[in-house]
Structure 1
């Protein structure tokens, strides 16, 4: 082969290797956490529905990720209670039975009451300031109809509130059960009236802290949980013909 052709062939091969390396880097740049966060959003914002199949090949194409990264993300979502994997069938958005929903919400009520009991009264000014700032962003997102921002600011509000209990194990467990409920809460996160009610209850929680009214804080935390549970159970009964 002439020297010029050899050089061209070498350059072509080098270019192909570079393209392959770039494609590999792009695939590897998508983290498990990125995929988990995106699918979690899809579930909460009602883009995918209970019992809907999550196809690995589709997710690989969507996220430009390798199969093992997608599978690890699905594994984490399964551990979080948002996805269920059925042998020989694949991964599906979790569909909770009424008994499972009741069990999750009993735990949420107990955990959040225990955390609310341990929030200092009077509440530290830094806590009031932090909650007020987050709620301002949440309220702005509600008014603009930015459901993605509503979802994320809502999480930030509750994590900040219950972190103030001073017990990291308790706060983490509150967050764990709140995450499980994402597959239950999806109706309330896209319903305008439900979002407005949640906003108002957040503001009332801040006021209860300012007034040092622990009993009212307990009542609000309990009340805040009920609509999403009841909506899910109602939809389940309609879907299953019950």
Structure 2
């Protein structure tokens, strides 16, 4: 992917990256499944060059791996690795939450409250996909508000590697009802501009994710 496409996020390769990442998260591509350039080119309506660049980008993120003489395939992330990734996220996202609390504007407060209200509505109506999208919006808002580019960059890579496990957890029946109060606690701490409380609320939320991941994997195997 060219540097311009990386910056703008609007080039053909960038669009394939987003589409392929979402497809892997949704389970359209299984762990260890081969990713054939010709097939992906047809599926996503993109050139082979754009697909090749997208695969290189996703390889750098740790979501795809290249096997000698066999091409690219979806990298399988074990449960143990998913837990480790989330533990690292706990530290980094706690830091970002603390920094965001000190930088939050009045307009940012309104945006956060809006996300919280939308989350409550999504849970009340059983909109799992909508709630999952709002979850991503909240974490992205905190990352952007914190202005800590190094931590933000590392988190983007970790999110890519863990996206499949996160999606499974988000779609688990009853999970939004568990995580909603945690997200609202994060929002309350941020709006109060309490850095310590924001960091602790974020850490508590991600500790809950660590504890929930093994139950999701067990549920998947017993279906």
TM-score range, shorter chain: 0.7 to 0.9
Is the CA contact 2:24–2:30 (under 8 Å) kept in the aligned structure 1?
A: yes
What SS is found at the alignment partner of 1:225? helix
1:179 equivalent to 2:136? Answer no
Map 1:11-160; keep pairs closer than 5 Å.
Answer: 31-121=12-102, 123-143=104-124, 147-160=128-141
1:192 equivalent to 2:178? Answer no
Q: 1:144 to 1:106 in 2, by over 3 A?
A: same
Is the CA contact 2:77–2:161 (under 8 Å) kept in the aligned structure 1?
A: no
1:208 to 189, 198, 216: 189
Q: 1:51 to 1:198 in 2, by over 3 A?
A: farther
* Segment of structure 1 superposing worse, 150-159 or 58-67: 150-159
* Segment of structure 1 superposing worse, 129-138 or 209-218: 209-218
- Output the aligned Cα RMSD: 3.1
Q: Deviations over 1:216-242 (max 9, x none)?
A: 4333312322454455555668999xx
Q: How many residues align?
A: 212
Q: 1:195 to 1:101 in 2, by over 3 A?
A: same
Supply the distance in 2 between the matched residues of 1:42 and 1:144 (Cα, whole angstroms): 25
Give the C-alpha shift of residue 62 in structure 1: 1.0
What SS is found at the alignment partner of 1:181? helix
Give the C-alpha shift of residue 158 in structure 1: 0.6
Q: 1:178 to 1:30 in 2, by over 3 A?
A: closer
Q: 1:139 to 1:43 in 2, by over 3 A?
A: farther
What SS is found at the alignment partner of 1:164? helix
Supply the distance in 2 between the matched residues of 1:235 and 1:199 (Cα, whole angstroms): 18
What SS is found at the alignment partner of 1:50? coil
In the alignment, structure 2 segments of 5+ residues that lack a partner are: 1-9
Give the C-alpha shift of residue 193 in structure 1: 1.6
TM-score normalised according to structure 2 size:
0.77
Is the CA contact 1:82–1:183 (under 8 Å) kept in the aligned structure 2?
A: no
* Segment of structure 1 superposing worse, 63-72 or 88-97: 88-97
Q: Deviations over 1:77-131 (max 9, x none)?
A: 1111211221222322221235533442332122112222323359432222112
Q: Deviations over 1:150-194 (max 9, x none)?
A: 443322211111322232333333333233321331311322322
* Segment of structure 1 superposing worse, 124-133 or 74-83: 124-133
Larger CA Rg, structure 1 vs 2: 1
Supply the distance in 2 between the matched residues of 1:229 and 1:84 (Cα, whole angstroms): 25
In the alignment, structure 1 segments of 5+ residues that lack a partner are: 1-28
TM-score normalised according to structure 1 size:
0.71
